[in-house]
Amino acid sequence: MATCQDCTHASTDPHWGGYHCSCGGCQVRALANGPQFWRSLKDRQRTPGYLAELVTVFGEEEAETGHKAVFAEYQRLKKLRGGTP
């Protein structure tokens, strides 16, 4: 998903903190590292806050597709950090 310089860095460094707001890859990574997604993982359901973020970033019709991308990014980052996806 390397679409910008920050995505390129993040492809090998799971702790990379740079983001570009106009980059789709950065938006997905930001959601995967964000507190609303983490709350959803902890609660084992999509929270209203996380759902609102998905709709804001991807639109109502693409929210489910966006969630799949966010979850895949979470798994990729987790694997890079040494955890099991």
The answer to whether 57 touches 27, Cβ cutoff 8 Å, is yes
Residue 54: which of 66, 46, 42, 44 has the closest Cα? 66
Q: Which two tokens stand for residue 32?
A: 């995967």
pLDDT bin (cut points 50, 70, 90) of residue 12 is very high
Q: Is 49 helix (H, G, I), strand (E, B) or coil?
A: helix
pLDDT in tens, 20-65: 989 999 999 999 999 999 999 999 999 999 999 999 999 999 999 9
pTM here is 0.90
Gap between the Cα atoms of 19 and 38, Å rounded: 19
Q: What is the pLDDT of residue 41?
A: 95
Q: Which two tokens stand for residue 45?
A: 């359901």
* 15: pLDDT strictly greater than 80: yes
Domain ranges for the chain: 29-85
